[in-house]
Amino acid sequence: MHTSTQPMDWSDSLLVGHAGMDCEHQAFMHCVNAMLTAGDAHFSEALQAMAEHLAEHFALEERLIDEHRFPAGACHAEEHAKVRASVREVQALVAAGDIEIGRELAQALIDWFPGHAEQMDSALATWVARKTLGGAPVVLRRDLRALAPSA
């Protein structure tokens, strides 16, 4: 039996104003939710999908860092490396039978991601927009709570 964790809901607060990064952020949410809802028999597959997603997601951001010489790039890439290392460690533990540590990783990723997106990824998106377009991105965020039917 595993502990119950609430799925990660998409919020426009996670938008950073770079289409590629925003798409990766939505994919991240889907991957982490798949980890939360996977049964024990399929958890390893959900974790592998997350590892593959993170490789692509982080590669995109690190390409942007390099191409546009983002000043905080080393710090940003270092955080990515730490997350990838944690995922590899957890994959080994899950392969040895400890599914619960994988579920704990899913929760840790949910806790980590909003701050990373709002701080580091947003700064990267702004830097890229300034370098390529001459200004900061305009990000329109809906208040999804206002769209929900009232109880």
Among 8-17, 58-67, 124-133, which stretch is predicted with the lowest mean pLDDT?
8-17
Q: From CA 112, how far away is CA 83, in angstroms rounded?
A: 10
Q: How far is CA 6 from CA 3, 32, 52, 111, in A?
A: 10, 11, 23, 11
User: Which residues lie below 8 Å from residue 134, measured CB to CB, with a gap of 6+?
Assistant: none
Interval 85-122: pLDDT, tens: 999 999 999 999 999 999 999 999 999 999 999 999 99
Tokens standing for residue 59: 């590669």
* Residue of 32 and 147 predicted with greater confidence: 32
Domains of the chain: 16-145 (1.20.120.50)
pLDDT at 134 over 90: no
